[in-house]
Amino acid sequence: MPALLEPGTFLIASLGLEDPTFARTVVLILQHVPDELTLGVVLNRPLGDRVKLYPSEELDSITEGMEFDESVTRSELFYQGGPVEPGSLIFLHRVEHLQGDATPIVPGLFAGGDLDALRQFTADSEEEGPFVRFYLGYAQWEPGQLESEIALGAWILAPGDTDLVFSDDPEGIWQQALQALGGKYAPMSFIPEDPSLN
């Protein structure tokens, strides 16, 4: 059964999606109100070298006081969430008891909340593995726009998955999401980006 267009749903870019901004992306829907805006974040675009485009003091101030595994680099914590307002920050995390206004997205996954409480959690926690990701910018659709893109076959809907959001291979999330859907979608995940390599 196809997933519904609602918060927590993954939008997996189909091979027919022509907008290069979203080529081979997986977007997590954070807000969908029919007749209003739909908002989401791109999950599989780690900042990588582009991290240099942002003032390092700003990025440091966001993560200040947070304890991370030594192997975690800044480029693994920060992602290009989308083309809209690239200076804005959205964060997703797994910390259920975080006070404040954290919004449940799918079981075990929350958006926003109190950054200070998150810092405290990281200082006290023994948890292994990633539990927070920061997204600079977001994706946004006008009323009806996303529905028409879906009708044209640009996006494949799938149920959101917390483990996939925190995948230790973020650049592989698109392939992993298609393989998880199975059926006719799994073979799509093996088509190379450059068709001449096929």
Cα 2-178-28 angle, rounded to 5 deg: 70
The pTM for the full model equals 0.91
The pLDDT assigned to 194 comes to: 65
The pLDDT assigned to 198 comes to: 44
The neighbouring-strand residues paired with 40 are 29, 139
Helices (runs of H) and strands (runs of E) counted in the chain? 7, 9
The pLDDT assigned to 93 comes to: 93
The pLDDT assigned to 75 comes to: 66
Strand segments (E) across the chain: 9-13, 26-32, 38-42, 78-80, 84-93, 103-106, 109-111, 132-141, 155-159
Tokens of 185: 């979608």
Burial class (CB in 10 A: 0-12, 13-18, 19+), 157: middle
Note down pLDDT in tens along the chain; length 198 residues: 567 899 999 999 999 888 899 999 999 999 999 889 999 999 999 987 777 777 778 888 888 877 776 667 766 789 999 999 988 999 999 888 776 678 999 999 999 988 888 888 777 776 666 789 999 999 999 999 999 999 999 999 999 999 999 998 999 999 999 999 999 998 888 888 765 554
Cβ-based neighbour number of residue 197 at 10 Å: 7
The pLDDT assigned to 2 comes to: 61
Cα dihedral 52/54/55/57 (nearest 10): -90
Q: Check if the beta carbon of residue 16 is closer than 8 Å to that of residue 150.
A: no
Cα 158-131-62 angle, rounded to 5 deg: 115
